Amino acid sequence: MISVEDWALIRRLVADGVPQRQVARDLGIGRSTVERALASDRPPKYERPPVPTSFEPFEPLVRELLKTTPDMPATVIAERVGWTGSITWFRDHVRRLRPEHRPVDPSDRLTWLPGDAAQCDLWFPPKKIPLEDGSKVLLPVMVITAAHSRFILGQMIPTRHTQDLLLGMWELMQQLGCVPRRLIWDNESGIGRGKRHAEGVGAFTGTLATTLQRLKPYDPESKGVVERRNGFFETSFMPGRDFASPADFNTQFAEWLGLANARVVRTIKTRPVDRLAADRAAMLPLPPVAPVVGWVNRVRLGRDYYVRVDSSDYSVDPAVIGRFVDVTADLGRVEVRHEGRLVATHDRVWARGMTITDPVHVAAAKVLREEFQHPRPAADPHEELARDLADYDRAFGLIDGLTDGQVA
């Protein structure tokens, strides 16, 4: 069998007018070889004839196991069929057969109409953020991408709890200035699991007049727009950056998103900012009344005059100990009210297990404690009952009506 180089050389020489006999003599090959090279329109290829292998007797058994359990590990299959040879070679054959028995899951090309949908997700930047107590933790970033325009919004939030997820969504909706007709989520625990939304999600979407759609498992394509942005953040935004706090992260991220939204997106061949106007025009307006979002709780204030939000405690005016107070908190503030009157306000901390104390509350508690420990002495009841009898005469007008020498 001649090489590919000799095959090409023979065809070129003959095409140049060199006789076949001379080509065979110059190359030291037979004339029949030259004739075969000229008759073949494809380069020569060595093919080894198939021979039986030691795997063939096991192949029907392997196929039966893959038919019922396509993801069964190769080591388990080898044990089930009684294979005693090289496990590496066995894995190679299982790898060759496995795609034939996996169920087919085709993905359609999705078309996103203006204003129809926004894909939501949590992105965890691969860098820990410093918090108030000196610790450094990985924090989630709420990301919303308008599916039609590919316009991206994002903000770091403290936790994955439902309260903070709704706060993050509402904050980004206000930045967008309108509401997409559908909010697409995967099975995030703070949004809902199974057939039911998490508590508060239904009221939130109802106020916004939108629909929250949670995807079924194994459907990554339906949320691929926002998923690809997460990878984009890690390769284009994160390298070389440091962050002093969550607020610093949000500032840098917002500035970078302004640049990212002005870049041409390969799939739509235009810039997201150029499509944003059409996207927003087809969306719903913001509701006239803001949805009830954030941490909301009603508790009776205990003797230690602290209330808990998430995992941290905040002091309250001790004058309302024993009474019901309403606790509300958003991403940045914690407020406590009693019958509508503000009795405590604090900056919300994102670190866990902290105690936030207002010195004014401590001073008020000290005064109340001293009054409780040293009460005022009670008045003597006998002194209260002792009274001048002339007071009674005066009350009945007897003294004013007496004349000289008269006795009452």
- Which pLDDT tens digit goes with each residue over 109-166? 678 899 999 999 999 999 999 999 999 999 999 999 999 999 999 999 999 999 999 9
Residue 396's pLDDT band (boundaries 50, 70, 90)?
Answer: low
Biggest CA pair distance of the chain: 177
| In the predicted structure, residue 274 carries a pLDDT above the cut 50 | yes
Which of 37-41, 225-229, 236-240, 241-245 has the lowest average pLDDT?
37-41
Q: Please name the residues in contact with 6: beta carbons below 8 A apart, sequence gap of 6 or more.
A: 27, 29, 37
3-class secondary structure, 37: helix
Q: Which of 148, 167, 149 is nearest to 158 (CA)?
A: 167
Which carries the bigger pLDDT value, residue 111 or residue 95? 95
Cα gap 153→142, rounded to integer Å: 8
Whether 358 has a pLDDT exceeding 90, the answer reads yes
Range in 103-107, 124-128, 185-189, 377-381 the model is least confident about: 377-381
Which pLDDT tens digit goes with each residue over 14-60? 888 889 889 888 888 888 888 888 888 888 887 777 788 889 999 99
- Whether the pLDDT of residue 327 is over 80: the answer is yes
The pTM assigned to this predicted structure is: 0.70
Sequence-distant (6+) residues with CB within 8 A of 93 are 55, 59, 62
Q: Would you state the pLDDT for residue 50?
A: 79
**pLDDT, tens digit (0-9, with 9 covering 90-100), for 284-309:** 999 999 999 999 999 999 999 999 99
* Segments of 162-265 assigned E as strands: 182-185, 192-193, 196-197, 211-214
Percent of the chain scoring above 90 in pLDDT:
68
Q: Which residues contact 290 (CB under 8 A, 6 or more apart)?
A: 170, 207
Please say whether the structural domain 117-281 has been given the CATH code 3.40.50.2300.
no
Residue 70 DSSP label: T
Average pLDDT of the chain, as a whole number:
89
Q: How far apart are the first and last CA of the chain?
A: 156
Asked if 201 contacts 94 with a C-beta cutoff of 8 angstroms, the reply is no
Both structure tokens of 81 = 């069929």
Ranking 86-100, 241-255, 309-323, 390-404 by mean pLDDT, the lowest is 390-404
Task: Yes or no: say if 195 and 321 are a contact pair by the CB < 8 Å rule.
Answer: no
Question: Which of 60-69, 199-208, 215-224, 352-361 has the lowest average pLDDT?
Answer: 215-224
Q: Which of 99-108, 139-148, 149-158, 380-389 has the lowest mean pLDDT?
A: 380-389
Q: Is the pLDDT of residue 240 over 90?
A: yes
For residue 256, report the phi and psi dihedrals to the nearest 5 degrees: -70, -35
CA distance 330 to 295: 7
Residue 392 is predicted with a pLDDT of 62
Q: What share of the chain is helix, strand, coil (3-state, %, to 5)?
A: 40, 20, 45
Checking if the pLDDT of 171 tops 60, the result is: yes
**H-helix segments, 85-198:** 87-101, 162-176
Share of the chain above pLDDT 70, in %: 90
**From the CB of residue 98, how many other CB atoms can be counted at a distance below 10 Å?**
16
CA–CA dist 90, 83 (Å, integer): 8
257: phi then psi, degrees, rounded to nearest 5: -60, -30
**Hey, where are the domains in the chain?**
4-39, 56-101, 117-281, 295-373
Q: How far apart are CA 316 and CA 219, in angstroms?
A: 48
pLDDT of residue 408: 43
Residue 82 confidence (pLDDT) above 80: yes
